[in-house]
Amino acid sequence: MSEAGGGYAIATLSACIGGSILIWVIGEIRFAHLGQQWPKVPATVISSRVEDLGVKSGYAPDVLYRYNVEGNEYLSRRIFVGSRAGSKNWAQGLVTTYPVDKIVEAHYNPERPSDSILEPARISWSNVYGATAGGILFTLFGIVILLVGMPRRRGLL
């Protein structure tokens, strides 16, 4: 691959990664917003534990709940939008909130009932901000590579 082709490939890849991250962030925020308007059904917590994600990743609440929509049974683990990882105390706090056999309200997407969330108004903003910053940086990096490389390829410098 030529030097110019490699620069375009890196720039394109970087911009695509950044754009994908930003699209994901927008989707997550939209999911939380729409989830607040979705119908609610009773759900039963069938499993609730703290998951060790490894030394660097931390801990996550692993809460599995079951709900029925129009006679169809669904399972979900989605509590809220954003990061699933945090400290052991944080994860334990969520697991304590959702003990096994507890009846909770699940908000489900009427167009796709397998999509549900327990706390649609709760967003892990630190995760959203971090992903947004990462998406912007990747995108800008790709644009800068393209702009810096363009004059040389056109013979302008």
> Which one, of 151, 145, 140, lies nearest residue 11 by Cα?
145
Residue 4 has pLDDT above 60, yes or no: no
Q: How far is CA 140 from the centre of its chain?
A: 21
Element (H, E) at 91: helix 88-97
Residue 9 has pLDDT above 90, yes or no: no
pLDDT band at 136 (very low <50, low <70, confident <90, very high): confident
CATH code for residues 38-120: 2.40.50
Q: What is the mean pLDDT of residues 107-121?
A: 90
Tens of pLDDT, residue by residue over 30-83, are: 766 777 789 999 999 999 999 998 877 689 899 999 999 999 999 999 998 766
Residue 87 has pLDDT above 80, yes or no: yes
| Residue corresponding to tokens 């996550």 | 60
What are the extents of the domains in the chain? Answer: 1-36+121-157, 38-120
Q: Which one-letter DSSP state was computed for residue 154?
A: T
Q: What is the mean pLDDT of residues 125-135?
A: 69
CB-CB contact of 96 with 70 (8 Å):
no
- Tell me how many degrees the CA angle 10-133-27 measures, rounded to the nearest 5: 95
pTM for the structure as a whole: 0.65
